[in-house]
Amino acid sequence: MKKGDENKFEIMYKTAGKELADKIVSVFEGDENKAENWYCSSCVALENLSPKECCKAKKYFQVEKELGRIEHGIFS
C-alpha cells in the first residue's frame, strides 16, 4: 500500500495508537465513520484542535478526557 492509499481509520490507529483508537471506535458504538469524522474534526474542548492533531502532539490525555465526556453525555 502506498502512503497516499491509507484511509482515515488506518491513520487514526497510527497516530493515536491501538488502545486509544479502539476506545474512540467503542465510544462511537463501533461506527468507524463517526469515529473517523470525530477524530479529524476540530473540537472546542481541545482548543479548536482535532483529536488527531492532539495525538500528533502527544496530548493523548486530553483526547481521553474528551472521550470520557462524550461517553457520559457531557458535550463541550
Whether 27 is in a domain gets the answer yes
Mention every residue, 6+ apart, whose C-beta is less than 8 A from residue 2.
none
Q: Which amino acid is at 58?
A: K
Structurally, how many domains does the chain consist of?
A: 1
Say how far apart CA 71 and CA 68 lie, in whole Å.
Answer: 5
| Model pLDDT, residue 6 | 67
**Residues in the chain, pLDDT under 50:** 1-2, 5
Whether 76 is in a domain gets the answer no
| Model pLDDT, residue 35 | 94
pTM for this entry: 0.85
**Rg value, the chain, Cα:** 12
Give the bridge partners for 17, in sequence order. none
The domain in which residue 15 lies consists of: 3-71
DSSP alpha helices (H): ranges in 1-76? 8-16, 18-27, 32-40, 51-56, 60-71
Q: Which amino acid is at 60?
A: Y
Whether 37 is in a domain gets the answer yes
